[in-house]
Structure 1
Amino acid sequence: MQYKNLGRSGLKVSQLSYGAWVTFGNQLDVKEAKSILQCCRDNGVNFFDNAEVYANGRAEEIMGQAIKELGWKRSDPVISTKIFWGGQGPNDKGLSRKHIIEGTKNSLKRLDMEYVDVLYCHRPDIMTPIEETVRAMNYVIDKGWAYYWGTSEWSAQQITEAWAVAERLDLVGPIVEQPEYNLLSRHKVELEYLPLYNNYGIGLTTWSPLASGVLTGKYNSGNIPPDSRFALENYKNLASRSLIDDVLKKVNGLKPIAEELGVPLSQLAIAWCASNPNVSSVITGATKESQIQENMKSINVIPLLTPAVLEKIEAVVQSKPKRPDSYR
């Protein structure tokens, strides 16, 4: 496993990481989570991602209890969680000072930890002034409840505004953004965020490298395996949006490239994400140890992605965003 700095910070995160979205609390309990987390650690993973909204808080409880029962030293793993959707009340969601502080306290209680390493604003909140959010995130850091803060699915403009506030007030700005990034979804990472990497040293912890499993090729026959996330009631809408003919055609076109390299399509897709120099860590998901073992082998595929191979991939997916002349 390789370890990369999280953006311009000194924090080191494993190039591949593990996220609790969908799995913890929906598909896995504490006992299963322990084996999954330990398998990740055995493969060099040190970064584990969560959120207050995952399984309505149960995902944090499961991760915290599993880590405690495993007896891990708290300083070894890098733990992150995200604040935005904390409940049904009018002040239980968003990025107000009230919800950031109360939501962070509640997350730490569920995780049974004194701090998280990285705290994300899970979505932008257009109803709260960015200055209020920046001040609140700095309060959390000053209290020692989080060491770094970042954003998830914010626009480049919003991140730039947050940094302008931080610089004006001599506060800490966001060091990381967590966007969706895969062979089918590239615009933000490869175009919109370009000015952020140099201007603010933003790193990326990207999610959905397999496009919710579509890029494994397992859905290409039109069947949805009963143990897959698209079989879950909450994710049937996602399945109907994802499993369209054009997408499945591209996935089929990628298979010969993976076969030529002698690797599964899933490893090719994950390695492709990790090969982007602006990506600090690719967040993977898995419900079985065997899936983790397979995912982690993606590290070995990165050196195989020569310019010629990348050109072949692009010829199939044709998803590279067109850069304005000024960005070339």
Structure 2
Amino acid sequence: MSGLYVSKVILGAASYGSSKWQNWILEEAEALPLLEYAFKQGINTWDTVRLNIAVPLADAYANGLSEEIIGKALRSYNIPREQIVILTKMYYAIDPMNQPGISQMRDKTKQHLVNRLGLSRKHILDAVAGSVR
């Protein structure tokens, strides 16, 4: 046991990002109040985007923007970072042009995805750095 407290309810942030990526995604202005409300209700565990656990969905959640919105919520509402547990995943490539579908690509030789896709040491370290950022 690590002693880490994880709330019984976990807030899924997969739908926070830009509706330009997918039409069902909540924009930042809609997502921020939900994060504040969750924290005030004692939901201290938020699931977001980068380290692959079982299913290779990975960086597909809102193309990585959900993590940026969580960071903004922490700053905007003065939520102490040490009181929040952030779950994160990675596997697919993040598309800097925010094009739907590129995060689903699996062929590392296409679209300049070499070292930006999969579970190589380089991609894992890049994904961790991106998540922390």
Instruction: Output the TM-score relative to the length of structure 1.
Output: 0.29
| Map of 2:66 onto structure 1 | 59
Contact map agreement 2:73 2:79 (CA 8 A) in 1: no
By percentage of residues, which structure has more strand? 1
RMSD: 1.5
Secondary structure in structure 1 of the residue aligned to 2:6: strand
Kindly state the Cα deviation for residue 86 of structure 1 after the two structures are TM-superposed.
2.7
* Aligned counterpart for 2:16 among listed residues 24, 31, 37: 24
Kindly state the Cα deviation for residue 13 of structure 1 after the two structures are TM-superposed.
0.4
**Deviations 1:144-195 (CA, angstroms, capped at 9, x unpaired):** xxxxxxxxxxxxxxxxxxxxxxxxxxxxxxxxxxxxxxxxxxxxxxxxxxxx
**Deviations 1:212-264 (CA, angstroms, capped at 9, x unpaired):** xxxxxxxxxxxxxxxxxxxxxxxxxxxxxxxxxxxxxxxxxxxxxxxxxxxxx
Give the ranges of 4+ consecutive aligned residues of structure 1 lying more than 6 Å apart after TM superposition. Answer: none
* Aligned counterpart for 2:79 among listed residues 55, 72, 93: 72
1:95 matched to 2:124? The reply is no
* Aligned counterpart for 1:47 among listed residues 45, 48, 52: 45
Alignment of 1:293-304 (within 5 A): none
Q: Taking structure 1 as reference, are residues 28 and 59 closer, same or farther at Cα in structure 2, changes over 3 Å only? A: same
Instruction: Output the TM-score relative to the length of structure 2.
Output: 0.69
Kindly state the Cα deviation for residue 30 of structure 1 after the two structures are TM-superposed.
2.2
Equivalents in 2 of 1:14, 1:39: separation in Å? 14
Number of aligned residues: 101
Please tell me the residue identity of whatever aligns with 1:55: A
Contact map agreement 1:83 1:100 (CA 8 A) in 2: yes
Equivalents in 2 of 1:92, 1:79: separation in Å? 22
By percentage of residues, which structure has more helix? 1
- Percentage identity across aligned positions? 39
Max radius of gyration: which structure? Answer: 1
Alignment of 1:55-204 (within 5 A): 55-87=62-94, 89-109=113-133
Please tell me the residue identity of whatever aligns with 1:74: R
Contact map agreement 2:36 2:73 (CA 8 A) in 1: no
Secondary structure in structure 2 of the residue aligned to 1:83: coil
Kindly state the Cα deviation for residue 78 of structure 1 after the two structures are TM-superposed.
0.9
| Map of 1:12 onto structure 2 | 5
Equivalents in 1 of 2:80, 2:42: separation in Å? 15
Please tell me the residue identity of whatever aligns with 1:57: G
Contact map agreement 1:51 1:82 (CA 8 A) in 2: yes
Equivalents in 2 of 1:62, 1:48: separation in Å? 12
